[in-house]
Chains A and B, each alone.
Chain A
Amino acid sequence: MTDVRETVRLEVESLPELGTAVAISGSPKQQEVGGAICLGIAAGIIVYMSF
Chain B
Amino acid sequence: MIIGRELRTWVENREGQRLTRLAAQALADRWAEGPVHQAFARAMAAIPARTAEAVGEAMRTLFANDFWVDQLLDTLAETMRRDPYFEPPFRHLNSALHAGLVVYEDELVSVAAGVGSVTQLAARKRSPREHGSIVFSGQLSVIKFVKAGGARLAFWETPPIAQDFTAAHAGPCTRVAERRIADGEILIVDGRHQSFIIEHATANLVVVQAVVKADHAPVSVEFDAASGAYVACSAADDSASRIQMISTLLRKLDCEAAVPTMIAFLDHPSFFVRWHVMRDLLGIDLEAALPRLKRMAARDPHPEVRQAARTTLDHIEARTIREKAA
To the question of whether A and B form a pair in one complex, the answer is yes
Q: Chain A residues in contact with chain B, CB under 8 A?
A: 2-5, 7-12, 15-27, 29-30, 33-51
Q: How large is the interface on B (under 10, 10 to 19, 20 to 34, 35 or more residues)?
A: 35 or more
Across chains A and B, which 5 residue pairs bring their CB atoms closest together, nearest first? A34-B133, A36-B95, A23-B234, A51-B197, A12-B283
Docked-complex contact B166 and A16, CB < 8 angstroms? no
Docked-complex contact B209 and A4, CB < 8 angstroms? no
B97, B100, B195: the one within 8 Å of A42 (CB): B100
Known: A4-B316, A24-B241. A17 touches B286 (CB 8 A): no
Distance (Å) between the CB of B265 and the closest chain A CB? 15
Docked-complex contact A8 and B320, CB < 8 angstroms? yes
* A44 cross-chain contacts in B, Cβ below 8 A: 137, 139, 141, 143, 189, 191, 209, 211
Docked-complex contact A30 and B232, CB < 8 angstroms? yes
The A-contacting residues of B in range 174-199, CB under 8 angstroms, are 189, 191, 195-198
Is the C-beta of B317 less than 8 angstroms from some C-beta in chain A?
yes
* CB closest chain-B residue, reference A40: B238
Docked-complex contact B308 and A49, CB < 8 angstroms? no
The A-contacting residues of B in range 204-250, CB under 8 angstroms, are 207, 209, 211, 213, 218-220, 222, 224-225, 231-238, 240-241, 244-245
Instruction: Label chain B's interface by main secondary structure.
Output: mixed
A23 CA / B245 CA spacing, docked (Å):
12
A46 CA / B195 CA spacing, docked (Å):
12
A23 CA / B218 CA spacing, docked (Å):
12
Looking at A3, A19, A25, which has the most chain B CB atoms within 10 Å of its CB? Answer: A25
A12 CA / B198 CA spacing, docked (Å):
44
Is the C-beta of B40 less than 8 angstroms from some C-beta in chain A?
no
* A20 cross-chain contacts in B, Cβ below 8 A: 165-168, 233, 271-272, 304
Docked-complex contact B196 and A48, CB < 8 angstroms? yes
Is the C-beta of B124 less than 8 angstroms from some C-beta in chain A?
yes
Known: A42-B93, A48-B195, A51-B198. A25 touches B238 (CB 8 A): yes
A1 CA / B36 CA spacing, docked (Å):
65
Docked-complex contact B93 and A29, CB < 8 angstroms? no
5 additional A-B residue pairs with CB within 8 Å, beyond A18-B308, A46-B100: A2-B321, A12-B251, A25-B220, A35-B129, A42-B211
Docked-complex contact A4 and B141, CB < 8 angstroms? no
Distance (Å) between the CB of B141 and the closest chain A CB? 4
Is the C-beta of B81 less than 8 angstroms from some C-beta in chain A?
no
A26 CA / B198 CA spacing, docked (Å):
20
Distance (Å) between the CB of A36 and the closest chain B CB? 4
Q: List 13 A-B contacts (CB under 8 A).
A: A10-B286, A18-B308, A24-B235, A25-B241, A33-B131, A37-B95, A43-B220, A44-B137, A45-B116, A45-B143, A46-B98, A48-B189, A51-B134
Docked-complex contact A35 and B232, CB < 8 angstroms? no
* B316 cross-chain contacts in A, Cβ below 8 A: 4, 8, 10
* A47 cross-chain contacts in B, Cβ below 8 A: 135, 137, 195, 220
Docked-complex contact A19 and B304, CB < 8 angstroms? yes
* A12 cross-chain contacts in B, Cβ below 8 A: 251, 279-280, 282-283
* CB closest chain-B residue, reference A15: B279
Docked-complex contact A8 and B286, CB < 8 angstroms? yes
